[in-house]
Homo-oligomer: A and B are copies of this chain.
């Protein structure tokens, strides 16, 4: 019968594509991973991996086994959750990671409320964004992760991860208050000749901005880049350009910035909470998820 730690390695390999990355994620040497996967293939009686240049790709059998491995691993998570649910005490340590905007808005209030209701609960929080967060979640370095998905980008579909939607927020065009804009629904083309202030090149928001401008039929002229919304908004406020920012980042903006929802193309991002598949019923996680939903419901997002 398959050993669960070997199945885990196979799953990580499927997600990461190289043995080196898998080894790092699991705190092992590539050698150990390679050996364990060899054993797994011998047990399976079929090759699960084939070399493709210096990478490995899964065979059909490998993909089938990964699929079942997800199931089995989720079952083990669920077992753990069920045991903790029995003892019914919300306690222990929950390690949360979130993207900065959430970490400074939703999350602190939720943690505070959860700890007030359950004094034995300990929570840690760190910044993590995008796929690095997903990887850390699956590797067990964190237990709960706040993620966003932009509507123009591919969604997260990882069978080892369960997503619970929290809130959907529009992306707002941030423009200097002095800038005259047409009334009514704002089309992105109205900003085509403005200088743009953009996030750094590898961020999802940057990709969304470029896709959106592409859909609107122009290529934005980039004047400044920063990943810090405070900086971006300060640049807008100084009249140096326009930008696109999520609603959550605009809670306190000065009066010399105009914020307008973009109607064409439709731009929004969905904020969700992610946990390992099967672990959502762990009492401490369930409490935190409920508090996050509660906080998200309280948000008054000015549309």
Counting every copy of the chain, the complex holds 2
> Is A165 part of the binding interface, using a Cβ–Cβ cutoff of 8 Å?
no
- In the complex, 11 of the A-B residue pairs with CB atoms within 8 angstroms, ordered by the A residue number, are A1-B73, A2-B76, A2-B80, A3-B4, A44-B83, A46-B87, A64-B83, A67-B82, A68-B75, A68-B76, A71-B78
Q: Which residue of B lies closest to A64 (CB)?
A: B82
Shortest Cβ distance from residue A103 to the other chain B in the assembled complex, whole angstroms: 28
Shortest Cβ distance from residue A77 to the other chain B in the assembled complex, whole angstroms: 8
Shortest Cβ distance from residue A92 to the other chain B in the assembled complex, whole angstroms: 9
A contact patch SS: helix
Q: Which residue of B lies closest to A70 (CB)?
A: B75
Residues of B within 8 A of A75 (CB): 68, 71-72, 75
CB within 8 Å for A79 and B68 given contacts A1-B4, A3-B4, A4-B1? yes
Bound together, the chains give a CA A261 to CA B73 distance in angstroms of 51
Contact with B along A58-91 (1 / 0, CB 8 A): 0011001101110111011011101110110000
Contact surface of A with B, Cβ cutoff 8 Å: 1-5, 8, 44-46, 60-61, 64-65, 67-69, 71-73, 75-76, 78-80, 82-84, 86-87
Q: Which residue of B lies closest to A75 (CB)?
A: B72
Q: Which residue of B lies closest to A92 (CB)?
A: B45
Residues of B within 8 A of A84 (CB): 45
B68 to A86, Cβ gap below 8 A?
no
CB within 8 Å for A86 and B71 given contacts A1-B4, A1-B76, A2-B80? no
